[in-house]
Amino acid sequence: MPIKLKTRKRAVQIEVRQSGVHGRGVYTTQFIPKGMRIIEYTGERVSWEAAPDKANDPHTFNFGLENGDVINPEIGGNDARWINHSCNPNCEAIEEDDRIFIYAMRNIQAGEELLYDYRMEIDEPITEAAKKKFACHCGASNCRGTMLEL
């Protein structure tokens, strides 16, 4: 007897489209209550040393895990890789059992862009030039001017 597996509808309806912050971004098409898990940041798990060095590719980010590995969304990545940064975010990235999930930090209305604070780390001193290289255009009143964690 032939069998097939079935997916479930994604819990939260989101879409990737042109963003006012930068390039493409992720928007919710439904109301998301505070605390709801929205999407997992998926990708290939590799050690930080083995991670592809894409310092000059602004589209690809390795997400650091507490065990020192990183998640590289180039392989097996999903829509979470398109989420932009804000200094006044409505989402946060939380690590659970070596996985990263994006959660709503507050109630989010349908049509809002999903944004979290990248808290970017670099292994060089945070100079004015470095801040500028990772300049933030989130437009928040408390924008720190850079996506780096200061």
Query: Which one of residues 27, 41, 61, 116 is an interface residue with ligand SAM (CB under 6 A)?
Result: 61
How many residues of this chain bind ligand SAM (CB under 6 A)?
18
The least CB distance from residue 106 to ligand SAM, in Å, is: 18
Query: Which one of residues 87, 91, 114, 148 is an interface residue with Zn ion (CB under 5 A)?
Result: 87
The letter for the amino acid at 143 is: C
Residue 110 pairs in a beta bridge with none
User: Which range in 49-57, 108-116, 124-132, 136-144 contacts Zn ion by CB under 5 A?
Assistant: 136-144
The least CB distance from residue 64 to ligand SAM, in Å, is: 14
Residue 55's CB is within 10 A of a number of other CB atoms, namely: 9
143 binds, among ligand SAM, Zn ion, none (CB under 5 to 8 A by kind): Zn ion
| Contacts of ligand SAM in 20-59 (CB under 6 A) | 21-25, 58-59
Cα 104 from Cα 115, distance rounded (Å): 9
Cα 61 from Cα 74, distance rounded (Å): 9
Q: Where are the beta strands (DSSP E) in 22-112?
A: 24-28, 37-40, 44-47, 63-64, 69-72, 84-85, 91-96, 99-104
The binding site for ligand SAM (CB under 6 A) comprises 19, 21-25, 58-59, 61, 81-82, 84-86, 136-138, 147
